[in-house]
Chain A
Amino acid sequence: MIDLKVNGVARSFDGDSNMPLLWYLRDVLALTGTKFGCGEALCGACTVHKNGEAIRSCVAAMRTVGGAEITTIEGISHDGLHPVQKAWIDANVPQCGYCQAGQIMQAVAFLKSKKNPTDDDIDGAMAGNICRCGTYQRIRAAIKAAAGEQS
């Protein structure tokens, strides 16, 4: 039995402990905001927070998240929108939108550690998150705007 918290709610899991967190979130808990893009930690679509840090849930086996606090896009903000979500909306970032939950989760974790990121900081932090629609320049603008809000 693996106990963990997902978006503040206590959960326990008794299935295959090798199952990646991604599929537990999506197929068992029906938290489908977290997306499947590659299954190999290559695209970032599945990014969630484990104890506040961004991880790729597609390669995080359930046995590695026992006792952890997991936050997904559905749990990033309790009332209204998170400043990063607001910035995303203001910059009209998404096209198809499929990658964006992962992008936002990555950006939220990143901005906690870096208050005033440079372009290079942003490139470094976001290079693991693919957007096939090519929304990168708006992502960069949104991150800068959110950082401005924050500081």
Chain B
Amino acid sequence: MSAIENVSRRGFLKGVVSTGAFVLCARLYPEALWAADSLPLDSRVEGAPLHPSIFLGIETDGTVYIVAHRSEMGTGIRTSLPLVVADEMDADWKRVKIEQAIGDERYGNQDTDGSHSIRDFYDVMREVGATARVMLIQAAAQQWGVSPSECTADPVHAVVHRATGRRATYGDLATAAAKLPVPKKEDLQFKPKSGWRYVGKGTPSYDLDAICTGRAEYGMDAHVDGMLYASIEHPPVLGGKVKSYDDKGPLAVHGVRQVIPIDPFQGPPASQPLGGVAVVGDNTWAVFQGRKKLNVVWENGANESYSSDEFKKELRKSSRTAGKVVRNSGDVEAAFSKGGKVIEADYYVPLLAHASMEPPVAVADFKDGRVTAWAPTQDPQAVQETIAKVMGIPKDNVICHVTLLGGAFGRKSMADYVAEAAVLSKKTGRPVKVVWSREDDIKFDYYNAVAAIYMKAALGPDGKPSAWLQRSAFTPIPSTFAPNVEYGSEGELGMGSTDVPFDIANLRVENGPATAHVRIGWLRSVSNIFHGFAVQSFADELAAAAGRDRVEYLLELIGPARILNLAEFGYPNYGGAPDKYPVDTGRLRHVLELAAEKSDWAKRSRSKGKGSGLGVAVHRSFLTYVATVVEVEVSSGGEVRIPRVDTVVDAGLVVNPEMTRAQFEGAAVFGTSIVRSGEITATKGVVDQGNFDDYPVARINEAPYKTNVHIVDSSAPPAGVGEPGVPPFLAAFCNAIFAATGKRVRDLPLSKTSLSA
């Protein structure tokens, strides 16, 4: 529910625009709250540069301010949503200035994850833009004494009277438009697709120049006068506590001022600080050095029992034992007992770390019971909530400014590191910047779940499966937030498990229990990573067993074009309404067929010989349909090159194709890292890896040489693009390795499998 209001005369955007400017707000928060809000549109946040729910301001000099309320971590969302506004209002993009919103529930949801920013806000951004255009035209028509229908905003940033050629710029019209009532939504006319200036075209990032000249400001660059720096020694085992430490050593380091213990978290970790000992001082280097001299003695607690090797066996056992049935049709057991060709396979995907280039970092300033924070966060409202909870202050007393994010991939929707800065600011009485080292980042992440997946199928005489069983056991995300959670949530199971799109009469999906001993969180495409990998690898195994062409076989598995009704299995469909975002196997088939065509599959998959091969996979996630063909070359020494990737994407309406392409190029590299070397392990509860030497990510010479991204032209509602490129890449890559070498990769990462001839 949203409503747009003209708030030009209420002094909002003060300090950004002058009096006389035209300012529109859109209320995105639940209607029920409107009445409860005594000063509905005033900020509760004193001194905040922006007032929540303002999205648009037009200055009398024609500068257009558009507020970005979602976080920019590289997907281009800070550009793309304002672009929708600018397009619909016929603004000149060069005259648009973007203001980043602070955290406030009146902006509606600001949690920038789950690939849903465009999908959730496309309509309202259009509405804001169209409202502004209609009002500017009205203002001009009034001045000229003509009907608005005789005027147009076609020339960009100005209104023209068609008959007389009279012209007024948006700047000229701002003050007059500011006095007009807002038109009803029903009276708005949206531009036809043919009239779009920016949407669907390639517009580069608003921050491109700043980034390339080093001026862009990330969380790592946030600075407040008088701030101290802090580095924290966290308990090496989750839930551990400090027994003793030495503060003399650190205090002897030049530039170190204080050594401060931080309380361990209570109950499930959620986004609370991990606890430990902080070293505070004048610069990052001093506090890093001081930390080395702390000599903390820890009481590790129960998670000390956790070691990855043992755990893998348990997980495997869980995936091999009858589990909780989450989807069932027909009778798989009866079909299996009939015999025929029965095929089984076990897959495994370890814990994965995010390793965004910018490690967690935040600045916070605690004063008089209020906190102001500057953070590279995916979710500034979660920062407010977390700090409020940890410090025992009202949420409204927390202001969170959002910087650019140096990558995030899901890690930075958790606010633990921002809360640490707030706690330390209170204890020191100064603003504090908490800087995580790379080792802190890798050792204390919210990891993607470790998973074992068991697959079983019986092939009929035609080579098609008559029965299909898939059972995954993985450390569930809810275990981070509540005690004793062992089974996956509907959301996690709805990522490649309950939504397996195959046309098989007897089909059962199960989930086995698993207990987490580290914090589990969201990582780019989440449980689609291991489910997608297992399902699409297994499909390839069945095709191999049946001696069939992979694309044809996959098309048969998917079956005819139809809408799948998965509601009865609790399938959440990424929060998308089933009528607006149905599970459409026709679109799934289409991307696959197109991928075969674009990659010249028929010819190239056959002509490949020893040491080189093509693999394919197709997967729907975040409401987007993706098919990927990967070409690999494997040397006799077992070294793998990826000369070419072809990805076909049907994400419905694509606002920014240029950035969408970049997201899928990036997803192929992200997937390459997962397959080649992505593995976090623990010994006695302590994570073994710490930096890019033992947690390598793909470098330029290891990444795909060329990823071709083909975007399906679609007018279906917009869907996600940040995450869906990852899952199909993983299986397509490993299927290609099989095609090239005959070696099946079931355990990730690849470094565990010898590929030398």
Contact = CB atoms under 8 A, between A and B. Distances in A.
Nearest to B283: A27
A19 B692 contact: no
Given A92-B205, A134-B665, A136-B700, A34 B214 contact: yes
B749 to A, nearest CB: 16
Nearest to B405: A96
A72 B214 contact: yes
A103 B73 CA distance: 18
A38 B692 contact: yes
A96 B407 contact: yes
Contact of A33 (B215, B705, B707): B215
Contact of B217 (A32, A134, A135): A32
Residue among B211, B217, B255 with max Cβ neighbours from chain A (10 Å)? B211
B215 A45 contact: no
B212 A134 contact: no
Interface stretch (B355-363, B547-555, B592-600): B355-363
A37 B357 contact: yes
Contacts of A123: 700-701
A29 to B, nearest CB: 11
A33 B669 contact: no
Contacts of A56: none
B666 A95 contact: yes
A119 B705 CA distance: 10
B691 A100 contact: no
Contacts of B217: 32
A5 interface: no
Contacts of B299: none
A96 B169 CA distance: 35
Interface string B739-751: 0000000000000
Nearest to B354: A132
Interface stretch (B45-53, B97-105, B170-178, B218-226): B218-226
A28 B283 contact: yes
B662 interface: yes
B356 A92 contact: no
A134 B75 CA distance: 12
B74 A20 contact: no
A132 B407 contact: yes
B406 A96 contact: yes
Interface in B377-408: 404-408
B692 A43 contact: yes
Contact of A73 (B202, B214, B288, B697): B214
Interface in A69-102: 72-74, 81, 85, 88-89, 92-101
B704 interface: yes
B9 interface: no
Given A15-B255, A104-B212, A130-B692, A98 B704 contact: no
User: What does DSSP make chain B's interface, helix, strand, loop or mixed?
Assistant: loop
A92 to B, nearest CB: 5
A134 B407 contact: no
Contact of B700 (A32, A95, A129): A129
B645 to A, nearest CB: 10
Given A37-B357, A96-B357, A96-B358, A20 B666 contact: no
A81 to B, nearest CB: 7
Contacts of B438: 37-40, 42-43
B467 interface: no
Contact of A136 (B223, B435, B669): B669
Given A45-B357, A74-B213, A89-B209, A32 B698 contact: no
Given A28-B283, A126-B700, A98 B209 contact: no
Interface in B267-295: 282-286, 288
Contacts of A33: 213-215
Given A101-B214, A132-B355, A134-B703, A96 B697 contact: no
B285 A133 contact: no
A97 B406 contact: yes
Nearest to A30: B223
A35 interface: yes
Interface in A1-28: 15-16, 19-20, 23, 26-28
B407 A98 contact: yes
A65 interface: no
Contacts of B666: 95, 133-135
Interface string B685-726: 000000111000111110111110000000000000000000
A134 B667 contact: yes
A98 B358 contact: yes
Contacts of A37: 357-359, 438
A38 to B, nearest CB: 4
B166 interface: no
B340 to A, nearest CB: 43
Nearest to B356: A132
B10 interface: no
A147 interface: no
Nearest to B357: A98
Contact of A85 (B213, B355, B407, B668): B213
Contacts of B706: 137
A73 B209 CA distance: 12
Contacts of B701: 123-124, 127
Contacts of B74: 94-97, 133
Contacts of B698: 134, 136
A54 interface: no
Given A16-B285, A40-B693, A134 B699 contact: no
A133 B725 CA distance: 13
A28 B223 CA distance: 12
A112 B76 CA distance: 32
B405 to A, nearest CB: 6
B431 to A, nearest CB: 14
Contact of B216 (A23, A97, A119): A97
A96 B214 contact: no
B207 interface: yes
Contacts of B359: 36-37
B601 interface: no
A55 interface: no
A145 interface: no
B40 interface: no
A68 interface: no
B407 A74 contact: no
Contacts of B73: 96
A129 B670 CA distance: 15
Interface string B100-117: 000000000000000000
A67 B16 CA distance: 45
B611 to A, nearest CB: 19
A118 to B, nearest CB: 13
B658 A95 contact: no
A138 interface: yes
A36 B220 contact: yes
A140 interface: yes
A94 B205 contact: yes
Contact of B704 (A72, A101, A129, A137): A137
Interface string B21-61: 00000000000000000000000000000000000000000
A109 B76 CA distance: 29
A16 B692 contact: no
A122 interface: yes
B208 interface: yes
Nearest to A120: B701
Interface string B213-246: 1111110110100000100000000000000000
B254 interface: yes
Given A39-B437, A45-B357, A131-B669, 5 more contacts: A27-B284, A30-B223, A36-B435, A97-B404, A132-B356
Q: What are the 3 A-B residue pairs with the smallest beta carbon separation, nearest first?
A: A33-B214, A134-B669, A98-B406
24 contacts: A16-B255, A28-B283, A32-B223, A36-B220, A39-B691, A40-B693, A43-B357, A43-B438, A81-B212, A92-B658, A95-B407, A96-B72, A98-B357, A99-B357, A99-B406, A123-B701, A131-B357, A131-B669, A133-B357, A134-B665, A134-B666, A135-B662, A135-B665, A137-B706
